Structure 1
Amino acid sequence: MVVEEENRSMEEGLLQHQNDRDDRRITACVILSTFVAVCSAFSYGCAAGYTSGAETAIMKELDLSMAQFSAFGSFLNVGGAVGALFSGQLAVILGRRRTLWACDFFCVFGWLSIAFAKNVFWLDLGRISLGIGVGLISYVVPVYIAEITPKHVRGAFTASNQLLQNSGVSLIYFFGTVINWRVMAVIGAIPCILQTIGIFFIPESPRWLAKIRLSKEVESSLHRLRGKDTDVSGEAAEIQVMTKMLEEDSKSSFSDMFQKKYRRTLVVGIGLMLIQQLSGASGITYYSNAIFRKAGFSERLGSMIFGVFVIPKALVGLILVDRWGRRPLLLASAVGMSIGSLLIGVSFTLQQMNVLPELIPIFVFVNILVYFGCFAFGIGGLPWVIMSEIFPINIKVSAGTIVALTSWTSGWSLKEEFSPPKKRKCTLIIHCLDKRKIGQTSHKNRKLDKLTQKLMYMSKNLKSLFT
């Protein structure tokens, strides 16, 4: 009797070990599905960096004023806010795959409208359409990847979204000054066309299938993702039970996300997006050539080096996100960005004081690399990774929509602040993550708060990039 119990326990242990090993498998289908999903993220990156390299050529060929070109740049954020507003509902109604097709439609139309534009109307219409597409992308891509990948690599796979965005930005920075702006617009549409085809070969999210009560399809999707011979019954049951519990727990109304039990999660999601956007990265990305020009550094050389530099830094984040954890990587990124941002402001202040004029161009350029390098491996992509993980499925739509909308509207506000025609004062923003919002507290926060206060006091004395 005892021997039988021991044998049974041993068998159960071996089965559990086998299931754990199966859960950790990374199949070709997971890799293919992730690659197809992030194709549109590459187009997103191209859209973000497009105005920097194309500024001079577009203004000259279409006879645009600086105000008109600035509006053209802003329309990406306007469209992004519209796309973000409907992204969650579309992902629920249509599913993740069909929503990706909707993204591709808006992006391809937008890029082609820009590529063949004869006047400012078609240029702006294309930019708005492109914005709607990337607004949808910003929500559905990280959510889809998080829902199909094994837990132990979920962070790295979701962070690949930011890697492809950085790759798109790098492509534009590297070739944008030497390739015709219309050709670059056509190139921007290619990843979305490839994604349109690739979606036919990838499975739907098992969690979305569970939400609409397609039990057989849940197991079928998991078999494709985990392997045909893998026992997915445990994972399928877990997904379905969790989905049912969350649906019973709430009627999934918009107000649910404001319940006390979700309040901290919502604050973290919105707070991270505000930190990401108000860090100033999008403003510098849009007007990097103007910044290089003002600093006295070669625009073409600066753009090319910047394009090559960003991708390795994004790879660092991809490697470390599941080893270090989200919070340490965010803090390291924030500290590095604070230093880089502060030194950029100091550089332009010294330039206005005519101190070390021969070194200022190099000093500005190096600090921009420091700033964006730290942005690329942390704050640039991790907020989207965390957003895709922290919201339970019953509030994921409404909360994810609010978070994405926050990202796009705050990005538009910052972009307007950086707009040269308006000559607004651009204050230096110091990046500091409040540890209490992330999940830990310590007396060391006091030292960090004091340091932040000192840096904020110093920043008040720094002058804007555009005076």
Structure 2
Amino acid sequence: MERESQEEDGLSTSSLLLGNYGESMTSSDPSVTPLLVFSTLVALCGSFVSGCTSGYSSPAESGIMEDLGLSTAAYSLFGSMITIGGMIGSLVNGRMTDMVGRRRTMGISQIFCAAGWLSIALAKNVWWLDTGRLLNGVGFGILTYVVPVYIAEITPKHIRGAFTTLNHLLLYCGISLIYFLGTIVSWRILALIGGIPCVLQVFGLFFIPESPRWLVKVGQEKEFEVTLQRLRGKSIDISQEAAEIRDYTETFERQSQSRILDLFQQRYAHSLIIGVGLMMLQQFEGANAFNYYASAIFKSADFSSSIGTRSIAIVQIPASALSVILTDKVGRRPLLLVSSAGMGFSCFLLGFSFFMQDLQYWKKVTPILAYVCILVFPINVKGSAGSVVTFSRWSCSWIVTYTFNFMLEWSAPGTFLIFACICGLTIVFTAKLVPETKGRALEELQASLAHILH
């Protein structure tokens, strides 16, 4: 089952397993080679593309709706098509990565993304727009799995954590760039800019090696040793690491011969409840609605959408870097509690500001209050996800991103108060059921979950 796991913003299950495995190595730490750095940078182009894809619909909204005459319903469908594509990508990403390799999978995903950007840039009607957004979503759904897996599999143990967290950071760099440029260029030019890192990664893939762990998995022993040596450096003795990778791969293959229905056994019930429940609650908190439609929210609050969007672009990167650092230092569970509490309080204040706006009170204050509240949303901690959990994530994300504009027209105060209530539920759910993962091995976590279940 681990082979079909996926993660959006952080490590996948496979990456976590590799991280625990790497801790058992006793060989000396190899140096960081130029090939390792270059391979990581090429892979991170995929994370950057994911960020560009995620952030595009916000700055492009007014331009697309005006130029193509789209209604609120039509644009909501366009914005949410990325989540439908993500569901498709999440169903095939694990199998594709195992069958054709990590490097080819990144190439295939970028073909989807590049075709999607081109379709949007040249769109003359809503069908071309939706098709392009759907293709972007498929590529997005594949990239969010294969990129962290590839990085985790090529890096040595002492830098694996640092390198894999760059995936999260580069995703938000992509969002920030698109947000900022979206206030300067037209939506068609913005789509073409979004396709540039797709081309860069496809070109870079010709110069980086395949994952050593995939090579040994498919029986390419000679290429496995050559590739591992290139990644670690000529002067490094790789014999012990190579032997441990072989042993680990054999053990992992034996243990992963399971079916999707095995997840629904009673012993996995608590883990599944935590995974699916937490992911659903995080989506219904409305974070993606803010990512996809931030400019529309600023307009509704009578605040400059260009200033607001640029502010988010500036805040995203340091906020993301801070969340990565704190996750390592403090742990994921405390940050989930704090971030949900912060988002809940911000949603409450945002709803309150819209309520006062509707009553024509504090006209000069409410736009500033809404602006400050919206800037809190980049500071968010998201959990990792397996295939079933990820499918739930994309499904809930589609519901939120499709209905958000309708909810905003129905009642802006009511929309954000609903989000605030869901943030409160997330706090209770996390406090009662979610265990801390910091500094704990996978086996220890499984044992603690089993103890809670019984």
Question: Fold-level match, TM-score > 0.5?
Answer: yes
* CA distance in structure 1 between the aligned counterparts of 2:222 and 2:362, rounded to whole angstroms: 70
Match of 1:22 in 2: 29
Counterpart selection for 2:393 from 407, 421, 444: 407
The range that moved more, 291-300 or 311-320, is 311-320
Q: Structure 1 residues 347 and 418 mapped into 2: Cα distance closer, same or farther (>3 Å)? A: same
Match of 2:295 in 1: 289
- SS of the equivalent of 2:376 reads helix
Q: Equivalent residues in 2 for 1:235-274 (5 A)?
A: 235-259=241-265, 265-274=271-280
Match of 1:317 in 2: 323
On the 8 A contact 1:78/1:409 being kept in 2, the answer is: yes
Match of 2:406 in 1: 420
**Residues 422-461 of structure 1 deviation map (CA, whole Å, 9 limit, x = unaligned):** 94563122142524544359xxxxxxxxxxxxxxxxxxxx
* CA distance in structure 2 between the aligned counterparts of 1:284 and 1:81, rounded to whole angstroms: 20
The range that moved more, 84-93 or 422-431, is 422-431
* CA distance in structure 2 between the aligned counterparts of 1:126 and 1:238, rounded to whole angstroms: 44
* CA distance in structure 1 between the aligned counterparts of 2:296 and 2:163, rounded to whole angstroms: 34
Give the aligned residue type for 1:409. Answer: S
% of aligned pairs identical?
A: 45
Match of 1:193 in 2: 199
**Residues 31-88 of structure 1 deviation map (CA, whole Å, 9 limit, x = unaligned):** 2222111212212212222121111211222222222222111211111111111111
- SS of the equivalent of 2:56 reads helix
The range that moved more, 269-278 or 130-139, is 269-278
Match of 1:456 in 2: none
Q: Equivalent residues in 2 for 1:57-456 (5 A)?
A: 57-259=63-265, 265-372=271-378, 374-375=379-380, 378-379=381-382, 383-384=383-384, 387=385, 400-420=386-406, 423=409, 426=415, 427-428=418-419, 429-430=422-423, 431-432=426-427, 434-435=430-431, 437-439=433-435
- SS of the equivalent of 1:417 reads helix
Match of 1:13 in 2: none
Report the number of matched residues. 405
**Residues 293-318 of structure 1 deviation map (CA, whole Å, 9 limit, x = unaligned):** 11111111111111111111112233
**Residues 391-449 of structure 1 deviation map (CA, whole Å, 9 limit, x = unaligned):** xxxxxxxxx332332221111011123133894563122142524544359xxxxxxxx
On the 8 A contact 1:81/1:135 being kept in 2, the answer is: yes
Match of 1:459 in 2: none
* CA distance in structure 1 between the aligned counterparts of 2:346 and 2:408, rounded to whole angstroms: 25
Give the aligned residue type for 1:83. Answer: G
On the 8 A contact 1:41/1:137 being kept in 2, the answer is: yes
User: By how many angstroms is 1:339 displaced?
Assistant: 2.8
The range that moved more, 426-435 or 304-313, is 426-435
**CA-atom RMSD in angstroms:** 2.7
Give the aligned residue type for 1:308. Answer: I
**Residues 193-249 of structure 1 deviation map (CA, whole Å, 9 limit, x = unaligned):** 000011122222223223223333333332232222212222222222122123334
* CA distance in structure 1 between the aligned counterparts of 2:50 and 2:114, rounded to whole angstroms: 11
Match of 2:443 in 1: none
Q: Structure 1 residues 125 and 440 mapped into 2: Cα distance closer, same or farther (>3 Å)? A: closer
* CA distance in structure 2 between the aligned counterparts of 1:275 and 1:235, rounded to whole angstroms: 40
Q: Structure 1 residues 262 and 54 mapped into 2: Cα distance closer, same or farther (>3 Å)? A: same
On the 8 A contact 1:163/1:315 being kept in 2, the answer is: yes
Give the aligned residue type for 2:29. Answer: D
* CA distance in structure 2 between the aligned counterparts of 1:90 and 1:154, rounded to whole angstroms: 23
User: By how many angstroms is 1:112 displaced?
Assistant: 0.5
Give the aligned residue type for 2:211. Answer: S
* CA distance in structure 2 between the aligned counterparts of 1:204 and 1:272, rounded to whole angstroms: 34
* CA distance in structure 2 between the aligned counterparts of 1:272 and 1:233, rounded to whole angstroms: 42
User: By how many angstroms is 1:175 displaced?
Assistant: 1.8
On the 8 A contact 2:76/2:401 being kept in 1, the answer is: no
**Residues 234-285 of structure 1 deviation map (CA, whole Å, 9 limit, x = unaligned):** 2222222122123334523333444566555544543443344222111112
On the 8 A contact 1:86/1:401 being kept in 2, the answer is: no
Q: Which has the higher contact order (CA 8 A, sep 6+)?
A: 2
* CA distance in structure 1 between the aligned counterparts of 2:36 and 2:187, rounded to whole angstroms: 35
User: By how many angstroms is 1:337 displaced?
Assistant: 2.5
- SS of the equivalent of 1:419 reads helix
On the 8 A contact 1:19/1:231 being kept in 2, the answer is: no
The range that moved more, 180-189 or 76-85, is 76-85
* CA distance in structure 2 between the aligned counterparts of 1:110 and 1:100, rounded to whole angstroms: 15
- SS of the equivalent of 2:234 reads coil
- SS of the equivalent of 1:434 reads helix
Match of 1:10 in 2: none
* CA distance in structure 2 between the aligned counterparts of 1:216 and 1:267, rounded to whole angstroms: 43
* CA distance in structure 1 between the aligned counterparts of 2:77 and 2:256, rounded to whole angstroms: 42
**Residues 109-132 of structure 1 deviation map (CA, whole Å, 9 limit, x = unaligned):** 000111111222212211111111
* CA distance in structure 2 between the aligned counterparts of 1:233 and 1:104, rounded to whole angstroms: 35
- SS of the equivalent of 2:188 reads helix
Q: Structure 1 residues 300 and 138 mapped into 2: Cα distance closer, same or farther (>3 Å)? A: same
- SS of the equivalent of 1:22 reads coil
* CA distance in structure 1 between the aligned counterparts of 2:195 and 2:287, rounded to whole angstroms: 24
User: By how many angstroms is 1:100 displaced?
Assistant: 0.3
